[in-house]
Chains A and B, each alone.
Chain A
Amino acid sequence: MTHRTLLLATAAAGILSGPAVAQNVLDWGANRDIGSLDPYSYGDSFTINVLNHVYEGLVRYNRDLEIEPALATSWEILDDQITWRFTLREGVTFHNGNPFTAEDVQASLERVSHETSPLKGNLPAYVSSEVVDDLTIDITLNGTYPLLLNDLTNIHIFDKEWLVENGAELPTDIGAGVEGFATYNANGTGPFIVESRQPDAQTVFTVNPEWWDEPAHNLDGFVLRPVGSPATRVAALLSGEIDFTNDAPVQDLPRLEAAPNVEVLEGVDLRTVMIGFPFRETLVSGEPNPFATKEVREALYKAIDLELLHERVMRGKSRIAGATVAPPIPGYSEDLDTIPAYDPEGARALLDEAGVPEGLEFEFNCLSDGLVNEEQFCQAIASMWSRIGLSPQLDVAPRAVQTPKRTNGNTDIYTLGWATLPMLDSYSPLLQIFHSKEGNSGVFNWGGWSYPELDALVQEAGQELDVETRLDLQNQALRIVKDEYIMLPLHQQPMAWAVTDSVTEMPLFPDNKPRLWFARMNGDS
């Protein structure tokens, strides 16, 4: 038996190393499957990330997460300041052979911003578009808006002809109860082509030999194989069944590091973990709410031992944060990134001054399936607050249960992680979290605060086309966030990928999105 296995193995090795059939197919063991092949029908950034290998946007992020031309080669803002003219790349074809034109861009923009699309929030400023000629398109916005390019990195371009032929011009409307063609089929311009898909088992991607760009990768294809159970994923990596995972469980990192065939890629995520406060009149319990007072929030910050959280709970892998955005995000500045000294006595003194009674009870809302080690750091923080004479009531549950409580104001203090995705700009938290809750702004302003001065800065930044001026405005707004202790930043959370020795290059991106068009394997190709 052993003999026979050996023979088979030798034969297999011979076949694999033969130059004629050299195959660099990367097995990607993800922690979950993509929802469907249609990037526009479910607001899931992982699905969009994976499908970015098949579909591309007008612009894209390069290795350093800077925006660079993709399907568009250049762009300019016309005199009215609200219309952007994009010149498109010549000679690009879709996987089905159809040429890429301005009609395709228009159909895609209409599709994603249609009222039944759950993703229309990804292109908030879009009003209409006009095809100038085959390779020129004008996009009109609802005002001057500096971040259109950031938004467009995530808007995948479909082939109009293909959409029309298959009746998929509109995103799948789940309410209507009819399936969409694009759920099962894909046809983009990207570096990889979807060959087959079995949900929850595997989705096979092969290389697109007709890709317009010079490939930096040397893959012949990759297979997305979801492995939901962390222990199984680790086992599959150790046994070489998968070559790469974008979610190496934190508790298994020592084991993976010790394995001879596995390399762990560790980094710090862009996601900043913060604590938010209620600004309503009363707490959920009906007691008067002391957290609307700045000194009380300051006291709660001083009572948190950030070093201890970093060392114990995050096992030294996180980055302690004093600012509400991570260093690589435009708008970050070092002078905002300072942390207060751990000072429980000072904190108690502040509470006494503000008249906060000993033993004040309030709810502390955390997710069981949210941030890295969230349950643990919430417990740690709750006990630190107990030390200054408060009684936080920890409430830990899954996201789907907690989110309605948070949005409806049915909780007091809460956690929030914000990576500024997909925009990668500090404008994102300023608009979505820190701005007053009105219209499209402040969707995540769960505490219900309002700082008119901050709002004015954010609105001004949202219409400022000069980058320097805009970032300066955003920096001033972030300064208010910091000085007023609107939210308390804790840390940027760790992230870990792992590859086996068959992978020679896998750039780790701080937005935690794998981009396999930069990956290389050690087979010759």
Chain B
Amino acid sequence: MLAFLVKRTANAVFVMLAVAFLAFLIFRSFGDPVEMMVNEQATQAERAELRERLGLNDGFLTQYVRFVTNAVQGDFGISYRNQQDVMVLIGERFPATLELVLVATVISLVVGIPLGVITAIHRDSRLAGMLQLGSIVGVSLPSFVVGILLILAFSVTLGWLPAFGRGETVDIGWWSTGLLTPSGRAALVLPAISLATFQITLVMRLVRAEMLETLRTDYVKFARARGVPRGRVHWVHALRNCLMPVITLTGMQIGNLIAFALVTETVFQWPGMGLLFIQAVTFVDIPVMAAYLLLVSFIFVTLNTMVDVTYAWVDPRLRDDTAEVGGTNG
């Protein structure tokens, strides 16, 4: 087991180093941050000097090694544009993104699971057909379109919910939360729904498929034959057996949602990490981009590793090197 753990961790570190390497390779085509930093009246000599001072004249390998050396010591540098410590910047934005992602996940489960069960039980009904159709729309609509439509309906036409921002927040230690104020909760509704749309359909379709499978099993038939009420069979016995893959999927999807929240964050001006990253790209703010990419890859790698370790713990066969087939590198 120990050997397995060490191996997985080494893999994780390697993946992150590779991500940072690729990131630095790509940064070269992003353009020149100095042109964005100085104003129109700066002379060529001043520009050159600033470039030298930032170490941008060094080869990308030197820059990469320097970044990794500093990152290992927890130093990610200072944002070119905001002149703030990058970790502070990201730390400020992280609670906003995580709250959004968690609420979106809860919404997707609360809405997606019942819809999945209903479409499985009544799979020939008109309602199920419509839900299925709706889920295709949910998968196909890009999330910024969903966001704009929600804003048009609920902010402009009805005037119920704010169109952008995070409302009032309360600081608990270094964590800032919008869940404790009415304006914060109101501001969370539209972006969370917009982010959850895709996820809802994913959960719904997964639950439906699992349910259809389970409903054919013998124990369900026996339960029915024994006279257990239909509702109890479906919602308790059958559903419980469908949830394992849903939980795995949801856990894995949290990483995805954090990464893809940037579209939602841009539409709703949600002050999270995605918005920070988009701005960093515009201004070629290399320290912020590098740290963000590393953090997101860290989240992915950690989630993957945790799932792998759990699987290995559950299924001893996976610990054996020769039989290592599982893995959920998705």
Q: Which residues from chain A sit less than 8 Å from chain B, CB to CB?
A: 32-33, 35-36, 38, 41-45, 115-116, 118-122, 124, 172-175, 177-180, 183-184, 198-202, 225-229, 231-232, 235-236, 238-239, 241, 369, 398-404, 407, 421, 432, 437, 439-440, 443-444
Q: Contacts of A198 on B, CB cut-off 8 Å?
A: 169, 271
Q: Contacts of B58 on A, CB cut-off 8 Å?
A: none
Which residues of B31-60 have CB atoms within 8 Å of chain A's CB atoms? 31-33, 35-44, 46, 49-50, 53-55
B40 and A432: CB pair below 8 A? yes
Q: Contacts of B156 on A, CB cut-off 8 Å?
A: 235, 238-239
Q: Contacts of B206 on A, CB cut-off 8 Å?
A: none
A165 to B239 Cα, complex, angstroms? 65
Which residues of B69-85 have CB atoms within 8 Å of chain A's CB atoms? 75, 77-85
A225-B41 CB under 8 A given contacts A235-B155, A404-B35 = no
Q: What are the 3 closest A-B residue pairs judged by CB atoms, nearest first?
A: A400-B31, A43-B39, A121-B41
Q: Say yes or no: is B268 at the interface (Cβ < 8 Å to chain A).
A: yes
A43 and B37: CB pair below 8 A? yes
B275 and A403: CB pair below 8 A? no
Q: Say yes or no: is B306 at the interface (Cβ < 8 Å to chain A).
A: no
- Contact among B55, B83, B163 for A172, CB-based, below 8 A: B83
| Distance (whole angstroms) from the CB of A146 to the closest CB of chain B | 16
A443-B282 CB under 8 A given contacts A118-B37, A175-B53, A400-B35 = no
A236 and B155: CB pair below 8 A? yes
- Contact among B29, B37, B93, B269 for A226, CB-based, below 8 A: B269
B266 and A121: CB pair below 8 A? no
B38 and A32: CB pair below 8 A? no
A241-B163 CB under 8 A given contacts A201-B271, A228-B266 = yes
| Distance (whole angstroms) from the CB of A456 to the closest CB of chain B | 20
A174 to B166 Cα, complex, angstroms? 30
A440 and B266: CB pair below 8 A? no
A115 to B53 Cα, complex, angstroms? 11
A400 and B38: CB pair below 8 A? no
Q: Say yes or no: is B284 at the interface (Cβ < 8 Å to chain A).
A: yes
Which residues of B119-175 have CB atoms within 8 Å of chain A's CB atoms? 144, 148, 151-152, 155-156, 159, 162-166, 169
Q: Say yes or no: is B30 at the interface (Cβ < 8 Å to chain A).
A: yes
22 A-B residue pairings within 8 Å (CB atoms): A35-B81, A36-B84, A118-B39, A120-B42, A121-B38, A121-B46, A175-B54, A177-B77, A183-B83, A184-B84, A199-B92, A200-B275, A227-B269, A228-B269, A232-B163, A232-B268, A232-B269, A235-B152, A238-B156, A239-B155, A400-B32, A401-B29
A179 to B23 Cα, complex, angstroms? 25
A174 to B35 Cα, complex, angstroms? 15
Residue of B at shortest CB range from A233?
A: B164
A174-B78 CB under 8 A given contacts A121-B39, A232-B164 = yes
Q: Say yes or no: is B256 at the interface (Cβ < 8 Å to chain A).
A: no
| Distance (whole angstroms) from the CB of B179 to the closest CB of chain A | 16
A443 to B34 Cα, complex, angstroms? 14
Q: Contacts of A437 on B, CB cut-off 8 Å?
A: 44
A178 and B46: CB pair below 8 A? no
A115 to B164 Cα, complex, angstroms? 40
A42 to B39 Cα, complex, angstroms? 8
B84 and A183: CB pair below 8 A? yes
Q: Contacts of A236 on B, CB cut-off 8 Å?
A: 155, 163-164
Which residues of B258-290 have CB atoms within 8 Å of chain A's CB atoms? 266-269, 271, 275-276, 278-279, 282-284
B83 and A41: CB pair below 8 A? yes
| Distance (whole angstroms) from the CB of A182 to the closest CB of chain B | 9
A241-B164 CB under 8 A given contacts A124-B41, A232-B269, A401-B30 = yes
A232 and B267: CB pair below 8 A? yes
A225-B163 CB under 8 A given contacts A198-B271, A200-B275, A232-B269 = no
Most buried by B among A232, A403, A444: A232
What 0/1 readout, one digit per residue, does chain B (280-312) give for beta carbons within 8 Å of chain A?
A: 001110000000000000000000000000000
Q: Contacts of B163 on A, CB cut-off 8 Å?
A: 232, 235-236, 239, 241
| Distance (whole angstroms) from the CB of A431 to the closest CB of chain B | 9
Most buried by B among A43, A201, A407: A201
A235-B83 CB under 8 A given contacts A200-B269, A403-B31, A403-B35 = no
| Distance (whole angstroms) from the CB of B191 to the closest CB of chain A | 11
- Contact among B32, B46, B81 for A42, CB-based, below 8 A: B81
Q: Contacts of B166 on A, CB cut-off 8 Å?
A: 201
Q: Contacts of B37 on A, CB cut-off 8 Å?
A: 42-43, 118
B39 and A179: CB pair below 8 A? no
A45 and B31: CB pair below 8 A? no
Most buried by B among A35, A120, A227: A35
| Distance (whole angstroms) from the CB of B64 to the closest CB of chain A | 17
B148 and A231: CB pair below 8 A? yes
Other than the given A45-B39, A400-B33, 10 more pairs (CB < 8 A) read A44-B39, A122-B41, A174-B54, A175-B55, A201-B269, A229-B144, A232-B268, A235-B163, A241-B163, A437-B44
A241-B162 CB under 8 A given contacts A38-B83, A399-B36, A401-B30 = yes
| Distance (whole angstroms) from the CB of A226 to the closest CB of chain B | 6
Q: Contacts of A36 on B, CB cut-off 8 Å?
A: 82-84
A200 to B75 Cα, complex, angstroms? 23
A143 to B296 Cα, complex, angstroms? 54
Residue of A at shortest CB range from B80?
A: A174
Q: Contacts of A121 on B, CB cut-off 8 Å?
A: 38-43, 46
Q: Contacts of B82 on A, CB cut-off 8 Å?
A: 35-36, 183, 199
| Distance (whole angstroms) from the CB of B9 to the closest CB of chain A | 29
B39 and A122: CB pair below 8 A? yes
| Distance (whole angstroms) from the CB of B298 to the closest CB of chain A | 22
A427 to B281 Cα, complex, angstroms? 34
A43 and B164: CB pair below 8 A? no
- Contact among B33, B151, B165 for A201, CB-based, below 8 A: B165
Q: Contacts of B40 on A, CB cut-off 8 Å?
A: 43, 121, 421, 432, 443-444
A444 to B41 Cα, complex, angstroms? 9
B271 and A399: CB pair below 8 A? no
Residue of B at shortest CB range from A403?
A: B35
A225 to B164 Cα, complex, angstroms? 9
Q: Contacts of A199 on B, CB cut-off 8 Å?
A: 82, 89, 92, 271
| Distance (whole angstroms) from the CB of A323 to the closest CB of chain B | 20
- Contact among B29, B43, B75, B81 for A443, CB-based, below 8 A: B43
Q: Contacts of B80 on A, CB cut-off 8 Å?
A: 42, 174
A344 to B96 Cα, complex, angstroms? 57
Residue of A at shortest CB range from B272?
A: A200
B31 and A399: CB pair below 8 A? yes
| Distance (whole angstroms) from the CB of A251 to the closest CB of chain B | 14
Q: Contacts of B88 on A, CB cut-off 8 Å?
A: 179
A404 and B83: CB pair below 8 A? no
Residue of B at shortest CB range from A171?
A: B83
| Distance (whole angstroms) from the CB of B99 to the closest CB of chain A | 13
A202-B165 CB under 8 A given contacts A179-B78, A231-B148, A443-B43 = yes
B46 and A120: CB pair below 8 A? yes
A353 to B29 Cα, complex, angstroms? 41
A228-B41 CB under 8 A given contacts A400-B33, A401-B30 = no
A177 and B53: CB pair below 8 A? no
A400 and B164: CB pair below 8 A? no
A158 to B43 Cα, complex, angstroms? 25
- Contact among B85, B151, B279 for A32, CB-based, below 8 A: B279
A404-B32 CB under 8 A given contacts A179-B84, A232-B268, A232-B269 = yes
Q: Contacts of B162 on A, CB cut-off 8 Å?
A: 241
A400-B30 CB under 8 A given contacts A200-B269, A227-B164 = yes
- Contact among B78, B81, B151 for A177, CB-based, below 8 A: B78
Q: Contacts of A116 on B, CB cut-off 8 Å?
A: 53
Residue of B at shortest CB range from A123?
A: B41
